[in-house]
Amino acid sequence: MKNFVFLFCAIALSAFVSCDDDGPYEDYLVARPIVQDAITFKAEAVSVTGPVPIVSSGKIYAYGNYIFVNDVNKGFHVIDNQNPSSPESIAFIKLEGNNDISIKDDKIYADSYGDLIIFDISDINNITVDSRIVNAIYNNGVWATEIAYPQADFYEYGDIDYDRDIVIGWEVVTERRTVEEYEAQFNCMACDYAISVPETASSSDQTGQGGSLARFKIIEDYLYVIDYSNINIFNIADVEDVKVLDDVQVAWDIETIYSQGNILFIGGSQGMYIYGIDNPEKPEFISEFRHGTACDPVVVDGDYAYVTLKGGGFCGNTESGLYVIDISNLENPELKVIYPMDGPNGLGVKGNALFVCDGDSGLKVYDKTDAPNVTLVNSFENIIAYDVIPLASSLLMIGDRTLYQYEYVDNDIRLLSIFQL
Q: How many residues does the chain have?
A: 421
* Residue at 177 is within a domain: no
* Residue at 125 is within a domain: yes
Q: How far is CA 20 from the centre of its chain?
A: 42
Contact 242, 108 (CB under 8 A): no
Q: In what order do the strands lie in the sheet with 25-37?
A: 154-155, 25-37, 165-178
Where helices occur in 281-412 by DSSP H, the ranges are none
* Residue at 164 is within a domain: no
Mean pLDDT of 220-230: 93
CA angle (232, 265, 380) in 5-degree steps? 115
Give the CATH number of the domain where residue 314 resides.
Answer: 2.130.10.10
Print the domain residue range for 322.
37-148+188-420
Lowest mean pLDDT across 8-22, 25-39, 83-97? 8-22
d(CA 143, CA 204): 29
d(CA 92, CA 180): 46
Lowest mean pLDDT across 126-130, 212-216, 235-239, 307-311? 307-311
H or E stretch at 174: strand 165-178
Contact 405, 417 (CB under 8 A): yes
Mean pLDDT of 71-81: 93
- Beta-carbon count within 10 A of 357 CB: 29
d(CA 348, CA 300): 9
Q: In what order do the strands lie in the sheet with 263-268?
A: 254-260, 263-268, 271-276, 284-290
Asked whether the predicted pLDDT for residue 14 surpasses 70, the reply is no
d(CA 397, CA 391): 11
What is the pLDDT confidence band of residue 20, given thresholds at 50, 70 and 90? low
| Full DSSP string of 87-135 | -EEEEEEEETT---EEEETTEEEEEETTEEEEEE-SSTTS-EEEEEETT
- pLDDT value of position 42: 57
Looking at the DSSP bridge assignments, the partners of residue 172 are: 31
What is the pLDDT confidence band of residue 420, given thresholds at 50, 70 and 90? very high
- My answer on whether omega of the bond before 372 falls inside 30° of 0, hence cis, is yes
Lowest mean pLDDT across 145-149, 164-168, 404-408? 145-149
* Residue at 29 is within a domain: no
Contact 357, 386 (CB under 8 A): yes
Asked whether the predicted pLDDT for residue 368 surpasses 90, the reply is yes
d(CA 301, CA 101): 23
Asked whether the predicted pLDDT for residue 396 surpasses 90, the reply is yes
d(CA 179, CA 410): 57
Residue 79 φ/ψ, nearest 5 degrees? -120, 125
| Full DSSP string of 137-149 | STTHHHHTTSTTP
What is the pLDDT confidence band of residue 242, given thresholds at 50, 70 and 90? very high
* Residue at 219 is within a domain: yes
* Residue at 408 is within a domain: yes
Mean pLDDT of 272-287: 96
What is the pLDDT confidence band of residue 22, given thresholds at 50, 70 and 90? low
Share of the chain above pLDDT 90, in %: 54
Average pLDDT, the chain: 82
* Residue at 142 is within a domain: yes
> Greater confidence, 1 or 196?
1
- pLDDT value of position 90: 96
Asked whether the predicted pLDDT for residue 94 surpasses 70, the reply is yes
Mean pLDDT of 388-407: 93
- pLDDT value of position 330: 96
What is the pLDDT confidence band of residue 419, given thresholds at 50, 70 and 90? very high
- Beta-carbon count within 10 A of 161 CB: 9
Coil, strand or helix at 5: helix
* Mode of pairing for the β-strands spanning 154-155 and 25-37: parallel
The model's pTM is: 0.76
> Greater confidence, 408 or 43?
408
* Residue at 174 is within a domain: no
Mean pLDDT of 266-293: 90
Asked whether the predicted pLDDT for residue 197 surpasses 50, the reply is no
Looking at the DSSP bridge assignments, the partners of residue 219 are: 222
| Full DSSP string of 221-263 | TEEEEE-SSEEEEEE-SSGGG-EEPPPEE--TTEEEEEEETTE
CA angle (44, 216, 218) in 5-degree steps? 115
CA angle (104, 110, 115) in 5-degree steps? 130
Asked whether the predicted pLDDT for residue 208 surpasses 70, the reply is yes
d(CA 60, CA 100): 8
- Total domain count, the chain: 1
Asked whether the predicted pLDDT for residue 228 surpasses 60, the reply is yes
